[in-house]
């Protein structure tokens, strides 16, 4: 029996309908390209929508001393100098324009008293920099980008009588394979989640905008669709992933009750005055300020408290250190027996702000705790602990065009699925601006690539048949393993052995267990048919989760230092030699993960000159410092 496949032709296919995907699609459509947007979940329900804190852009609205150079410096410091400097530079320079542009699409940001876009403080940012809409910034961003897409569809309708003529959204549709002719992208294959019917989109250019990988971890702020699909699709099509060892564990996830463990408690609670205390009632973050940050952070509670009113003449509270520092500090306090029974510490805003203010500032935090944990945060502290939140590693891309490196042409990546921009650790707020800056670039360059092609690559029947067979395989295994058990086992391996603090023995053990899981996943089964069958969907996702987890574990074992989102108990220091190394994963012929070391591109002189030598000496080797002089 032949399998029915719905076929479409596009110039650019964008996989992912979060901020990066929507911004890329808008740009490709503005360049006149027929563009498809594919979304695994409902249109509008992406991670981007969950972003609360805001989008970082050096507009200088609240403190006029802010500019792209200060933002660039903060981003490089946050990433511990492993960032792709060119991406950090483009991001810092272009973010303000991308935010102002959103206003022309209809976004309504909160305002300062004099009517400018308001900006709030956030960890690691020297000045108030996060443009925000209460704690619903991501929602406003997605709403606005969707609105822009609808307005473009209306223009297309006026011209052609068809809303979908130039830009069409396929929601609740999962892409399982990229199809190639030789080394060039020829299309994408997937299925409608509701009907289980297959879909083939032939296109010479694909933009990956699939977000993160957090569902491979037990405790995570990420939702069900973040199974590393884009990372795995990139690898399988011949592209490379960079620095997959760097995962951000957000310091403040809910820890109680178990049903909500991992859900994020926004950093703006700390930006607005919330402080972290252990069960002895001590503000412990003062004990955890690393030397590299000592100059910028307050040494006493009095100075830290003064900063909220007078940031120009006081140093920042240590609660606002970059996320990796705060997450490790909480981890240490809990380990030392100064944590709560549920394994967290206390985040206190109740004793710091009047109740009405607490309700007004982070309103959804108040409701989140009231409804999910029955805790009134205007009266009691919140119980919080680290949660897997963001992956800094991702598709290795050319910084200017967002084109994927490796053996593949016609593939682009933007947003959380791409790597390099944030180095070893991302600053809060830098993701929303990253996805606008590089989403736009990816859409623009994917369109230009499609334009410049002579003959378009063709999808082969054999490849489509293989994609169909791979998709149907779990349904045909009568005694296959249960996908939910496999996912739990994978989450246990990653959470327990490749988590926030890593050790050689555990990482070696993790790799052994991942190999065992690989064999079991090859035998995963799903009962039932193709019509809305979440077990089948997970069975297909597991293949991606496993391959991406293997990259993370391999790179974590290889990198013998501690930096940003990678902490090795057996190598606790940051090493200037390791700063010169990017770890790059590819797939070999047998489908196994191959890891190689590649040099980190050297920063241009005028960018190096933005830093003081004493600061550079914390990160760079002696040879590099000699060259700087």
| Residues in the annotated binding site | 16-21, 39-54, 229, 250, 266, 389, 416, 426, 431-432
Q: Does 264 bind ligand FAD (CB under 6 A)?
A: yes
Among 61, 174, 237, 331, the residue binding ligand FAD under the rule CB under 6 A is 174
Q: Shortest CA distance to 389 belongs to which of 346, 427, 335?
A: 427
| In the complex, minimum distance from the CB of residue 362 to ligand FAD, in angstroms, rounded to a whole number | 11
What would the two tokens of residue 110 be? 């909160």
Q: Kindly give, in sequence order, each residue whose CB lies less than 8 Å from that of residue 155, ignoring residues fewer than 6 positions away.
A: none
Among 11, 12, 13, 16, the residue binding ligand FAD under the rule CB under 6 A is 16
Q: Does 432 bind ligand FAD (CB under 6 A)?
A: yes
Angstrom distance (rounded) from CA 57 to CA 430: 8
CB nearer to ligand FAD: give 273 or 576.
273
Please spell the DSSP secondary structure of 493-551, one letter per residue: HHHHHSSSSB-HHHHHHHHHHHHHHHHHHTTB---S-SSS-HHHHHHHHHHHHHHHHHH
Angstrom distance (rounded) from CA 553 to CA 573: 19
CB nearer to ligand FAD: give 52 or 333.
52
Q: Does 20 bind ligand FAD (CB under 6 A)?
A: yes
Angstrom distance (rounded) from CA 316 to CA 328: 19
| In the complex, minimum distance from the CB of residue 6 to ligand FAD, in angstroms, rounded to a whole number | 15
CB nearer to ligand FAD: give 94 or 416.
416
| In the complex, minimum distance from the CB of residue 211 to ligand FAD, in angstroms, rounded to a whole number | 2
Angstrom distance (rounded) from CA 436 to CA 137: 13
CB nearer to ligand FAD: give 225 or 506.
225
| In the complex, minimum distance from the CB of residue 286 to ligand FAD, in angstroms, rounded to a whole number | 26
Angstrom distance (rounded) from CA 57 to CA 63: 12
Q: Which residues pair with 9 in a beta bridge?
A: 202
Q: Is 165 exposed, middle or buried (0-12, 13-18, 19+ CB in 10 A)?
A: middle
Among 13, 28, 50, 186, the residue binding ligand FAD under the rule CB under 6 A is 50
Question: Which residues sit in the known binding site for FAD?
Answer: 16-21, 39-54, 229, 416, 431-432
Contact segment (CB under 6 A) with ligand FAD among 61-69, 160-168, 428-436, 547-555 equals 428-436
Q: Does 74 bind ligand FAD (CB under 6 A)?
A: no
Omega before residue 40 within 30° of 0, cis: no
Catalytic residue IDs: 323
CB nearer to ligand FAD: give 250 or 315.
250
CB nearer to ligand FAD: give 46 or 510.
46
Q: Shortest CA distance to 247 belongs to which of 385, 81, 392?
A: 392
| In the complex, minimum distance from the CB of residue 300 to ligand FAD, in angstroms, rounded to a whole number | 29
Q: Does 54 bind ligand FAD (CB under 6 A)?
A: yes
| In the complex, minimum distance from the CB of residue 175 to ligand FAD, in angstroms, rounded to a whole number | 4
- Pairing mode of beta strands 581-587, 593-599: antiparallel
Taking residue 130's Cβ as centre, other Cβ atoms within 10 Å add up to 26
CA dihedral 169, 174, 179, 184 (to 10 degrees): 60
Question: Which residues sit in the known binding site for substrate?
Answer: 250, 266, 389, 426
- Between CA 408 and CA 610, with CA 399 as vertex, the angle to 5 degrees is 155
CB nearer to ligand FAD: give 16 or 196.
16
Angstrom distance (rounded) from CA 626 to CA 606: 16
Among 339, 393, 415, 457, the residue binding ligand FAD under the rule CB under 6 A is 415
Contact segment (CB under 6 A) with ligand FAD among 50-58, 86-94, 453-461, 574-582 equals 50-58
Q: Does 368 bind ligand FAD (CB under 6 A)?
A: no
Among 124, 211, 238, 393, the residue binding ligand FAD under the rule CB under 6 A is 211
Binding mask 112-141 for ligand FAD (x = CB under 6 A): -------------------------xx---
Q: Does 47 bind ligand FAD (CB under 6 A)?
A: yes
What would the two tokens of residue 434 be? 């990253």
Q: Which residues pair with 111 in a beta bridge?
A: 117
Angstrom distance (rounded) from CA 352 to CA 308: 11
Among 66, 74, 94, 225, the residue binding ligand FAD under the rule CB under 6 A is 225
| In the complex, minimum distance from the CB of residue 232 to ligand FAD, in angstroms, rounded to a whole number | 9
Binding mask 372-411 for ligand FAD (x = CB under 6 A): ------------------x---------------------
Among 11, 27, 52, 202, the residue binding ligand FAD under the rule CB under 6 A is 52
For residue 395, give Cα distances in angstroms to 46, 329, 370. Answer: 19, 30, 39
CB nearer to ligand FAD: give 90 or 289.
90
Q: Shortest CA distance to 367 belongs to which of 382, 354, 352?
A: 382
Contact segment (CB under 6 A) with ligand FAD among 14-22, 85-93, 374-382, 402-410 equals 14-22
Among 13, 25, 38, 584, the residue binding ligand FAD under the rule CB under 6 A is 38
Taking residue 182's Cβ as centre, other Cβ atoms within 10 Å add up to 10
Q: DSSP state, 215?
A: G
Among 74, 94, 229, 444, the residue binding ligand FAD under the rule CB under 6 A is 229
Q: Shortest CA distance to 207 belongs to which of 464, 460, 543, 445?
A: 445
Q: Does 46 bind ligand FAD (CB under 6 A)?
A: yes
Q: Does 435 bind ligand FAD (CB under 6 A)?
A: yes
- Pairing mode of beta strands 593-599, 12-15: unpaired
Angstrom distance (rounded) from CA 85 to CA 600: 9
Angstrom distance (rounded) from CA 585 to CA 405: 11
3-state secondary structure of 299: coil
3-state secondary structure of 88: helix
Contact segment (CB under 6 A) with ligand FAD among 220-228, 398-406, 525-533, 562-570 equals 220-228
What would the two tokens of residue 10 be? 């596009």
Contact segment (CB under 6 A) with ligand FAD among 2-10, 151-159, 207-215, 531-539 equals 207-215
Among 119, 216, 368, 431, the residue binding ligand FAD under the rule CB under 6 A is 431
Counting residues that bind ligand FAD (by CB under 6 A) gives: 42
**What residues make contact with ligand FAD under the rule CB under 6 A?**
15-21, 38-41, 46-48, 50-55, 137-138, 174-175, 209-211, 221-222, 225, 229, 264, 390, 415-417, 428-432, 435
């Amino acid at each position: 029996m032949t399998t029915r496949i719905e076929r479409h032709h596009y110039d650019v296919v964008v996989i992912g309908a979060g901020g990066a995907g929507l911004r890329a699609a808008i740009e490709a459509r503005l360049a006149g390209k027929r563009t498809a947007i594919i979304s695994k979940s409902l249109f509008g329900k992406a991670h981007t929508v969950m972003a609360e804190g805001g989008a970082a852009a050096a507009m200088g609205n609240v403190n006029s001393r802010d500019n792209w150079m200060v933002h660039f410096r903060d981003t490089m410091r946050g990433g511990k100098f492993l960032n792709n400097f060119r991406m950090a530079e483009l991001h810092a320079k272009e973010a303000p324009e991308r935010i102002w542009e959103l206003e022309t699409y209809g976004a309504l940001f909160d305002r300062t008293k004099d009517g400018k876009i308001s900006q709030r403080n956030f960890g690691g940012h020297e000045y108030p920099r996060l443009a925000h809409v209460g704690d619903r910034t991501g929602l406003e961003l997605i709403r606005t980008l969707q609105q822009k897409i609808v307005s473009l569809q209306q223009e297309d309708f006026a011209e052609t009588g068809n809303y979908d003529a130039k830009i069409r959204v396929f929601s609740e549709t999962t892409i399982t394979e990229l199809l190639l002719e030789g080394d060039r992208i020829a299309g994408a294959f997937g299925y409608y989640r509701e009907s289980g019917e297959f879909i083939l989109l032939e296109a010479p250019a694909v933009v990956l905008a699939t977000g993160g990988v957090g569902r491979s971890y037990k405790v995570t702020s990420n939702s069900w669709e973040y199974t590393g699909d884009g990372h795995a699709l990139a690898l399988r099509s011949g592209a490379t992933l960079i620095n997959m060892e760097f995962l951000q564990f957000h310091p403040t996830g809910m820890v109680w009750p178990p049903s909500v463990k991992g859900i994020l408690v926004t950093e703006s609670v700390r930006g607005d005055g919330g402080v972290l205390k252990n069960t002895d009632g001590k503000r412990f973050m003062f004990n955890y300020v690393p030397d590299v940050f000592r100059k910028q952070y307050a040494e006493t509670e009095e100075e830290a408290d003064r900063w909220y009113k007078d940031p120009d003449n006081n140093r920042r509270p240590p609660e606002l250190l970059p996320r990796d520092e705060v997450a490790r500090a909480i981890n240490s306090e809990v380990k030392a027996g100064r944590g709560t029974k549920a394994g967290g510490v206390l985040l206190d805003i109740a004793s710091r702000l009047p109740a009405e203010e607490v309700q007004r500032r982070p309103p959804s935090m108040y409701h989140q705790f009231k409804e999910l944990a029955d805790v009134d945060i205007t009266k009691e502290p919140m119980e919080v602990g680290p949660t897997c939140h963001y992956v800094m590693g991702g598709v290795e891309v050319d910084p200017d065009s967002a084109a994927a490196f490796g053996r593949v042409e016609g593939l682009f990546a933007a947003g959380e699925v791409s790597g390099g921009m944030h180095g070893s650790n991302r600053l809060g707020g830098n993701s929303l601006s990253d996805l606008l800056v590089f989403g736009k670039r990816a859409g623009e360059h994917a369109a230009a690539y499609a334009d410049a092609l002579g003959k378009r690559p063709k999808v082969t029947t054999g490849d489509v048949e293989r994609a169909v067979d791979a998709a149907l395989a779990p349904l045909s295994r009568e005694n296959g393993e249960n996908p939910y058990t496999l996912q739990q086992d994978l989450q246990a391996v990653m959470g327990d052995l490749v988590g926030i603090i890593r050790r050689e023995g555990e990482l070696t053990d993790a790799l052994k267990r991942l190999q065992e899981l690989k064999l079991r996943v090859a035998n995963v089964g799903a009962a039932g048919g193709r019509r809305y069958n979440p077990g089948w969907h997970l069975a297909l996702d597991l293949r991606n989760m496993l391959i991406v987890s293997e990259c993370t574990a391999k790179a974590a074992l290889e990198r013998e230092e501690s930096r940003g989102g990678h902490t090795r108990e057996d190598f606790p220091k940051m090493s200037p030699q390791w700063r010169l190394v990017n770890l790059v994963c590819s797939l070999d012929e047998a489908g196994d993960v191959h890891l190689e070391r590649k040099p980190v591109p050297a920063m241009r002189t005028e960018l190096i000159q933005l830093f003081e030598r004493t600061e550079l000496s914390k990160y760079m080797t002696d040879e590099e410092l000699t060259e700087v002089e």
